[in-house]
Chain A
Amino acid sequence: MIRNILNLRYAANLDYAHRLVEGLDDTQANEAPVDGMNTPRWIIGHLAQTADQVGLGWVLEMERTIPEWDAWFDLGTLPGHLTADQPSLADAIDHLDRLHAVVSERVLASSPAFFERSLHDVAPERFRKRFPTVGNALAHIMLSHEMQHLGQLSAWRRVKGLPAV
């Protein structure tokens, strides 16, 4: 059951992400309408980076695909520090699509017992304490973490006077 719920909601998150950024140009993608707000480019890049670092690396015990993105999109990095040669919003959404597909495929192929396993040691201790099993961690990463940042993007749209989606 957990597999179906995770994938149903995970797919809905991705659809929502696409609707939130659809039609944004490069200027908007990099705009913080108020100092300190995260930009669309950083938010989607952070979600892709998290799917790679936490989803593939920490939880699913798979080889990471974009570890270099940690320098630009990990927790603590700043949207204002991104430069033109680093991944664009379009790059970020493409990688988010790809990583969603990888995570979903792995989750659907896993046995129920897999979700009850303890996280392996690659995951930092503070993360393992909060989310002790693979299932706990996936529920957070696939459902709430993504939606929390999409909530920031929803607020960004309101500040910009763009319609709700």
Chain B
Amino acid sequence: MDFAKEITVLRFMQGYGDDLLADIEPQDMCKQPVSGMNHPAWIIGHLAMAVDSHAESVGGTSQLITWQEQFDYGTTLTTDPADYPAKPELIEAWHAANERFIAAVSSAPPEALNTPTQGPAAQGLPTVGDFTSFSLTAHTALHLGQLSAWRRADGRQPLF
């Protein structure tokens, strides 16, 4: 299974994410301009954790298991920066996790990709290959859209 096109999209979205983050001051990474919004620290931590976790299902090794407690779907956010990794660490972890995911996906055996997806995602993403395609494209895009909305809610210049 060839994911070259999805990998192009992930790299594009990572660059877009870097642009969205560039002018956010470190002390604002946990700001919620409106109650209930996901803030930049959680969004980037969640994206890093998600691809890190997914890499395991295609033969990679997870390196951010401890982040799941803080960044998994459904976790509760705080607005205290001391509760989160610093901005450079979050960005570096996200980039590195993307690269590990891309490497794992690129060498994944077909039998792993044809395995049925486990858990709630199985309803719309029946195989690990389907789930991989989603992770490389739509999942990252969804949360960067939230980050784009966060910027607007915080009165910052829209980028897209």
Q: Which residues of A are in contact with B by a Cβ distance under 8 Å?
A: 1-2, 5, 8-9, 12-13, 33-38, 75, 115, 130-131, 133, 135-136, 138-140, 143-156, 158-159, 161
9-residue interface stretch from B23-31, B63-71, B144-152? B144-152
Q: Within the assembled complex, what's the spacing in Å between the Cα atoms of A130 and B13?
A: 11
Do B9 and A37 touch (CB < 8 A)?
no
Known contacts A9-B130, A140-B9, A146-B141; 16 additional CB pairs below 8 A are A9-B133, A12-B138, A34-B33, A130-B12, A133-B5, A139-B6, A144-B137, A147-B137, A148-B13, A148-B16, A148-B144, A151-B141, A151-B147, A152-B145, A154-B146, A158-B34
Task: Using A1-B2, A36-B153, A38-B152 as known contacts, say yes or no to A139 and B8 having CB atoms under 8 A apart.
Answer: yes
Do B141 and A155 touch (CB < 8 A)?
no
Q: Which of A5, A33, A37, A148 is B141 in contact with, Cβ under 8 Å? A: A148
Taking CB atoms, residues of chain B closer than 8 Å to A2 are 2, 5
Taking CB atoms, residues of chain A closer than 8 Å to B8 are 131, 136, 139-140
Q: List 25 A-B contacts (CB under 8 A).
A: A1-B1, A2-B2, A8-B124, A8-B130, A9-B133, A34-B34, A35-B155, A36-B152, A37-B149, A131-B12, A136-B9, A139-B8, A143-B6, A143-B9, A143-B138, A144-B9, A148-B16, A148-B141, A148-B145, A151-B142, A152-B145, A153-B145, A154-B145, A155-B145, A158-B34
Q: Which residues of B are in contact with A by a Cβ distance under 8 Å?
A: 1-2, 5-6, 8-9, 12-13, 16, 33-34, 36-38, 124-125, 129-130, 133-134, 137-150, 152-153, 155, 158, 160
Q: Closest CB-CB distance, B114 to chain A, in whole Å? A: 11
Taking CB atoms, residues of chain A closer than 8 Å to B33 are 34
Q: Within the assembled complex, what's the spacing in Å between the Cα atoms of A139 and B38?
A: 26
Q: Within the assembled complex, what's the spacing in Å between the Cα atoms of A153 and B138?
A: 14
Nearest first, the 3 closest Cβ-Cβ pairs linking A and B are A151-B145, A155-B149, A144-B141
Q: Closest CB-CB distance, B11 to chain A, in whole Å? A: 10
Taking CB atoms, residues of chain B closer than 8 Å to A131 are 8, 12
Do B37 and A158 touch (CB < 8 A)?
yes
Do A9 and B134 touch (CB < 8 A)?
yes
Q: Closest CB-CB distance, B71 to chain A, in whole Å? A: 16
Q: Closest CB-CB distance, B67 to chain A, in whole Å? A: 21
Q: Closest CB-CB distance, B105 to chain A, in whole Å? A: 13
Q: Which of A138, A144, A152, A158 is B138 in contact with, Cβ under 8 Å? A: A144
Do A150 and B9 touch (CB < 8 A)?
no
Do B138 and A155 touch (CB < 8 A)?
no
